[in-house]
Amino acid sequence: MYLGFDSSTQSLSGMIIDPVSGEIVLEKSVNFGNDLPHYGAPSGFIPNGTAGEVHSDPRMWLEALDEVLKRLSAEIDLSCVKAIGGSGQQHGSVYLDETFEDRIRNANVADHLASILAPSFSRKTSPIWMDTSTGQQCREMADAVGGNEEVCRITGSVAIERFTGSQIRKFYQVDPAGYANTAKIHLVSSFMCSVLSASHAPIDFGDGAGMNLMNLAQCAWDAKMLEATAPQLIKKLPSLAASGSSCGLVGAYFVKKYGFSPSCKVGVFTGDNPASLVGMGATAAGQVVISLGTSDTFFAGMNAAHTDPRGFGHVFGNPGGGYMCLVCFRNGSLAREALRDELSTDWNAFDTGGLSQTQPGNEGNMMLPFYGPEITPRRDFSGPIRQGSEDFEAGHNATTQIRALLEGQFLNMRLHTDWIGIAPEKIRLTGGASRSNGIAQVVADVFHAPVERLSIANSAALGAALLATTTDGYDLLALQKVFCQPSQDAMILPAPGVNYDVPLKQFAVLLGN
């Protein structure tokens, strides 16, 4: 058996797969808001950060790890696990002092990871991908290397606020003593991997590319970018390695407490989007995936790195080899949830029944569907902007509001993904909201392409488990054929005669493009 973790914004999941039978054996999840309410983070991050700051408490991720393992080991003998893989929300960073390895290696099983490792955090909270507070640091980094075109040429993305480099620079500027006391800076993925393997784990090329620090062509830390970020940074960064390559054995704490075999390997973790590319069977170039999670993302495998001239899109390492492109939209599920709550309705209103009370195009009622700062396009919205009938602009008529939000989300996505140059012949949809036929229909209509879904919704955890098998030499493409088959009944075709070319132009005008 192989175990994959996905440490996402709102939850931690663990999935066990059997590559021989081709089955998912067990899956357990811990939701931070519901299961660990004492961290005061109902959506997985500390609410009400100032000036765009969005942080999470890394002890919460550790407590969730203990809890998921407790739940898994209650139902399965974990000594059957031959290797562990994992994925994490991208860009978030964890700052550790020099005591980390000693503490995890000598951990007492009667204690919990959160209290064992709490004294090792040289920065008490972790900035995550939703943070938009580092505009100044981005400008300084870009200026230092000769402009954003150069940052993009080197790293695959212009300097972006949520990317780890500018977050590190901010920490160095506001807390130089804390920075000096930091021995290692990890991403969420490499941090979880380090805990499980009880030693500092490498960062993979998929997640490493989300830092503005990695030279994309060389898959190595870029001296010029590091120098533009903070002093002595090379000493504080882990090494870089391919995702799925083995980085050691599971630590004694996990062997003694949860029954893992001492010979269970740990593979290098990756970001949630690269892992999802694997779990969606989409590592080969050209297969477009849309993932509807806390953030909505649009990504695809690529043969050669080719960057977004407008600077919104990114190029990352592809765990299957080569590259992948990605565009991320911050107002994903959180915006859908905000409108649902504003209208005091439930998800049924977003499904086919609710949406069928309105027509594609929504009789011209259009919404810029942003409930907070957006990253694509980068703008500090404080609420949605409506254009249409008087009634609609006053926020009335629930079904029209819902269609406007969904059409707005996918028109914005279509508008900002044209640089990739793939007119999708077919879209694979994943993430919690992908289960809704109504939402899938809007995606099919706006992109004018059939939408298919796999039977499992947690493609990042599946991708992580599939990557774990590669430590034993399993062939990723062959296993993707087994695990990532789209289910035929879940295929949604674009409605005949529906065309969004005109609404797309109107949306661009409303956005001010």
Q: Does 287 bind ligand XUL (CB under 6 A)?
A: no
Instruction: Work out which of 182, 194, 297, 458 binds ligand XUL, going by CB under 6 A.
Output: 297
CA–CA gap between residue 230 and residue 180 (Å, rounded): 11
| Min dist. Cβ of residue 272 to ligand XUL (A) | 5
| Min dist. Cβ of residue 130 to ligand XUL (A) | 8
| Min dist. Cβ of residue 89 to ligand XUL (A) | 4
164 or 471: whose CB is closer to ligand XUL?
Answer: 164
Q: Does 273 bind ligand XUL (CB under 6 A)?
A: yes
Sequential DSSP letters for 322-367 = SEEEEEEESSSHHHHHHHHHHTT--GGGGSHHHHTTS-TTGGG-EE
46 or 479: whose CB is closer to ligand XUL?
Answer: 46
Q: Is the dihedral of CA 279, 283, 288, 294 positive or negative?
A: positive
Q: Does 416 bind ligand XUL (CB under 6 A)?
A: no
Q: Does 295 bind ligand XUL (CB under 6 A)?
A: yes
CA–CA gap between residue 8 and residue 65 (Å, rounded): 12
Residues 353-412 that bind ligand XUL (CB under 6 A): none
58 or 210: whose CB is closer to ligand XUL?
Answer: 210
Q: Which among 51-59, 291-299, 376-384, 387-395 is the span making contact with ligand XUL, rule CB under 6 A?
A: 291-299
Instruction: Work out which of 112, 123, 162, 169 binds ligand XUL, going by CB under 6 A.
Output: 162
Q: Which among 171-179, 235-243, 287-295, 304-312 is the span making contact with ligand XUL, rule CB under 6 A?
A: 287-295
Q: Running DSSP on this structure, what letter comes out for residue 37?
A: G
Q: Does 453 bind ligand XUL (CB under 6 A)?
A: no
Residue 472 token pair: 């034993």
* CB-CB neighbours of 147 under 10 Å: 13
Instruction: Work out which of 2, 129, 172, 500 binds ligand XUL, going by CB under 6 A.
Output: 129
Q: Which among 232-240, 268-276, 396-404, 479-487 is the span making contact with ligand XUL, rule CB under 6 A?
A: 268-276
133 or 471: whose CB is closer to ligand XUL?
Answer: 133
x/- site string to ligand XUL, residues 473 to 492, per CB under 6 A?
A: --------------------
Q: Is the dihedral of CA 486, 490, 494, 500 positive or negative?
A: negative
Q: Which among 28-36, 49-57, 86-94, 242-250 is the span making contact with ligand XUL, rule CB under 6 A?
A: 86-94
Q: Which of 27, 226, 24 is nearest to 145 (CA)?
A: 226
| Min dist. Cβ of residue 238 to ligand XUL (A) | 19
CA–CA gap between residue 501 and residue 364 (Å, rounded): 13
297 or 458: whose CB is closer to ligand XUL?
Answer: 297
The backbone torsions φ and ψ at residue 88, rounded to the nearest 5 degrees and listed phi first, read -140, 155
Pair 224, 146: CB distance under 8 Å: no
| Min dist. Cβ of residue 213 to ligand XUL (A) | 15
Residue 377: asked if its preceding bond is cis (omega within 30°), the reply is: yes
CA–CA gap between residue 167 and residue 164 (Å, rounded): 5
45 contacts: CB under 8 Å, gap ≥ 6: 9, 54, 55, 56, 128, 130
Which residues on neighbouring strands pair with residue 329, listed in sequence order? 296
* CB-CB neighbours of 316 under 10 Å: 29
| Min dist. Cβ of residue 210 to ligand XUL (A) | 6
| Min dist. Cβ of residue 273 to ligand XUL (A) | 5
Sequential DSSP letters for 426-492 = SEEEESGGGG-HHHHHHHHHHHTS-EEEBS-S-HHHHHHHHHHHGGGT--HHHHHHHH-PBPGGG-B
Distances in Å between the Cα of 59 and the Cα atoms of 66, 173, 192, 378 are: 11, 24, 11, 30
| Min dist. Cβ of residue 493 to ligand XUL (A) | 28
CA–CA gap between residue 145 and residue 138 (Å, rounded): 11
Residues 87-106 that bind ligand XUL (CB under 6 A): 89-91
Q: Does 243 bind ligand XUL (CB under 6 A)?
A: no
| Min dist. Cβ of residue 8 to ligand XUL (A) | 6
CA–CA gap between residue 288 and residue 504 (Å, rounded): 20
Q: Which among 85-93, 233-241, 277-285, 432-440 is the span making contact with ligand XUL, rule CB under 6 A?
A: 85-93
Residues 107-126 that bind ligand XUL (CB under 6 A): none
| Min dist. Cβ of residue 355 to ligand XUL (A) | 25
* CB-CB neighbours of 421 under 10 Å: 9
249 or 275: whose CB is closer to ligand XUL?
Answer: 275
283 or 365: whose CB is closer to ligand XUL?
Answer: 283
Which residues on neighbouring strands pair with residue 315, listed in sequence order? 325
Q: Which among 131-139, 147-155, 265-273, 409-417 is the span making contact with ligand XUL, rule CB under 6 A?
A: 265-273
Pair 368, 408: CB distance under 8 Å: yes
| Min dist. Cβ of residue 389 to ligand XUL (A) | 34
Q: Say how many residues touch ligand XUL, by CB under 6 A.
A: 17
Q: Does 328 bind ligand XUL (CB under 6 A)?
A: yes
Total residue length of the chain: 513
296 or 445: whose CB is closer to ligand XUL?
Answer: 296
Residues 176-195 that bind ligand XUL (CB under 6 A): none
Q: Given the rule CB under 6 A, which residues bind ligand XUL?
A: 8-9, 89-91, 129, 162, 210, 271-273, 293-295, 297, 326, 328
